[in-house]
Amino acid sequence: MNYINGTHQENIIFVVDDNPVNLKVLFTLLKESGFKVLVATNGTDALQKLQNVKPHLILLDVSMPNISGFELCKRLKASEKTADIPVVFLTALSDLEHKLEGLSLGAVDFICKPFQKQEVLSRICLHLKLSQLQQALHQQNQKLRNAVVEKESAEAELVKLNNQLEQKVSDRTQELSEAVTQLATQQAQLDYKANHDVLTELPNRAFFMERLQKILKQSDRDWTLLWLDLDNFKKINDSFGHIVGDRLLQRVAQRLQSVLGEEGIIARLGGDEFAILHPHEESNCDFGELAQTLINKLQRPFTLQHYIITVNASIGTIASIANYSDSTELLRDADFALYQAKSLGKGQYAILTPQLKIQSLERIQIETDLSRGMDRNEFCLHYQPIFSLKTKNLVGFEALIRWQHPKKGLLMPNRFIPIAEETGMVEKLDLWTLKTACDRLRLWKQEFGIDDTFSVSVNYSSVTLQSLERLASLDWSEYLQDLAPENLKIEITESGFWEASVAGMDVLKSLVDRRIKLCIDDFGTGFSSLSRLHSFPAQILKIDRSFVKRLDVGMGGLAVVQTITNLAQDLGMDIIAEGIETQEQLTFLENLMCNFGQGYLFSKPLSVTEATHLLSNYFPAEQNLHYA
């Protein structure tokens, strides 16, 4: 690089001075001399610009506000990015002490003010040349160091290769001696994985079934079988995620193992199901003690990833497996007992009895027959009359589903509706009931000329948001053809209103907007709903038969019904009392200004033929000649 006669276009000089006059002088001088010039008026500005550019030399004023030249130089030399840039101080100070301080901070020279053109250019060119020579020397030294390192590395590699050759001979001998051991270990691991659950490390279904079959055939001891299932485990996965769910299963397995100790066999069959075989002693007749101990152990809260989770378990128990020879039959019976335990609520156990087995088999048969029954039109509706307690006139019917089972005869809803709810068929039954009731009401309206005040009430069991949305989106013009919306009442249980989400309530309100009336069924089974009754989009309240029955007992029952009727009347709701069976109950309800009633005092549920005959008594033929 030529530093004489001004060929410096590739060299960048950075001038930092708070005096604009000095800046202008130096900028003009350096620019005319062929340098690229960058300027800054203070230390902060200089540091900011040095983030984006690296000059070949820095001219730095000593006296500046905020960050002095000395302080700025100290910072530059402390940074790896700028430490190697030559710094020349610009100063009016001439004392030796300040110059020594500047040089101690890493500066290479001083230029005194006022500036002498030739001095400035000479010093800059000198230090640029020195910087270039230093860089070249540094590069040469680095090459020498690299050569030495390469030589040492090559020597070390030769030693390493020699050692590797020697080691390979030794390793090969060791490998051959260990091969048999490794193969044996791998086979053991494969056998373990094939027989154990990956997540909990408990025996898996395959191992358990094989061991169970051997016990049934060969063991002289009797055993108790417990079939355990976590209650609502899917909600835990949905709420906390599968990682937490998996960790919970691991902790559950550990707790179960802590209860059993070395006795018995525990296996994870899949999902949240566990099976336990425990030695059975004839002297111990309390077969439920172990089941209850396991339930109590699992009910203690689990702390997982900052969550505190409480679980319950249902357990089906076979007290003795001695009378079984087939594992499939045994597990089927254990599943019967588990189903019974779940029907009792959360955290319960059930021991299989002959009666329970009969009930479970019957339930399975009903579940199988349900779908077939729908396809074969085995269902029918009975109609229980609803009367005005003031006029004693017939004002409507409640449509009640029945199943004309080909083998079991006429089945009441309590025999099949709970099973339909579990299997997801209940919504299909609900919609069939709604369609059939509307069709029947249309025929009665054509035959008897009944007006819009006469209605048929239909129970709707499905109260999930999805089922309610499907209900609201029905083609109501088809269902209500030739009917007024007021002719139809839809009954939803009190608990159904409680379980409906905010979105579900909005769907129910959309039905009310269609002028379809909603009725709260079985009201009174819990006082917790009284405070929220005003928020339910319903116009009719039906008092549960259990409270109507208490009217015969005394003033206690009367006080409850009176509270309910007063609240409903204040909210402008009609009231229907169900289950009226005595004249005394009727009198109480009339005195409480209850609007409507139904029950065996008036009539049992009627077949279509019987209900049609009853209608003919209240709507004589001569009133309906114009419908002929």
The pLDDT of residue 495 is 72
| Burial environment of residue 117 by CB neighbours within 10 A (0 to 12, 13 to 18, 19 or more) | exposed
Q: Give the 3-state secondary structure of residue 247.
A: helix
Q: Where are the beta strands (DSSP E) in 102-230?
A: 109-112, 222-230
Paired strand residues for 110: 89
* Residue 193 pLDDT: 86
End-to-end CA distance of the chain: 120
pLDDT at 556: 62
For residues 527 and 567, give the distance between their C-alpha atoms in angstroms, rounded to a whole number.
Answer: 12
Calculate the CA dihedral of residues 230, 232, 234, 235 and round it to 10 degrees.
Answer: -140
Measured CA to CA, the distance from residue 37 to residue 16 in angstroms comes to 11
Say whether the peptide bond before residue 418 is cis (omega within 30 degrees of 0).
Answer: no
Q: Write down the pLDDT at residue 4.
A: 41
Q: Which residues contact 26 (CB under 8 A, 6 or more apart)?
A: 15, 17, 37, 59, 90, 115, 120
- Beta bridge partner(s), residue 134: none
Token reading at 336: 């019967």
Calpha distance 601→586 (Å, rounded)? 9
Query: Beta strand 596-597 with 574-577: parallel, antiparallel or unpaired?
Result: parallel
For residue 224 the two structure tokens come to: 């108790």
Collapsing DSSP to helix, strand or coil, 383 comes out as: strand
Q: What integer pLDDT is reported at residue 323 of this predicted model?
A: 83
CA distance 165 to 154: 16
Tokens read off for 421? 């709810």
**What pLDDT shows up at residue 103?**
84
Q: What are the distances in angstroms from CA 407 to CA 178, 362, 420?
A: 70, 12, 19
Largest CA distance in the chain: 134
Output the pLDDT for position 169: 74
d(CA 64, CA 60): 10
For residues 306 and 300, give the distance between their C-alpha atoms in angstroms, rounded to a whole number: 16
Q: How far is CA 300 from the centre of its chain?
A: 22
In the numeric block, the tokens 């249980």 are attached to 493
> What span, in angstroms and rounded, lies between the C-alpha atoms of 564 and 523?
9
The Cβ-side half-sphere exposure at 545, using a 13 Å CA radius, reads 9
Task: Report residue 81 CA to chain centroid gap.
Answer: 51
pLDDT in the model for residue 199: 92
List, run by run, the mean pLDDT of 10-residue segments along the chain (628 residues): 52 92 90 91 91 91 88 90 90 73 85 86 88 85 86 82 80 75 76 88 91 85 90 82 91 91 86 89 66 91 86 90 86 87 86 78 81 90 96 95 92 87 86 94 92 92 80 88 92 78 83 90 62 80 88 74 87 93 93 94 96 90 43
Q: CB neighbours of 494 closer than 8 A, spacing ≥ 6?
A: 520, 521, 522, 523, 524, 525, 526, 529
CB neighbours of residue 493 within 10 Å: 20
Going by C-alpha positions, the residue among 375, 397, 377, 373 that lies closest to residue 386 is 397
Q: What is the pLDDT of residue 531?
A: 62
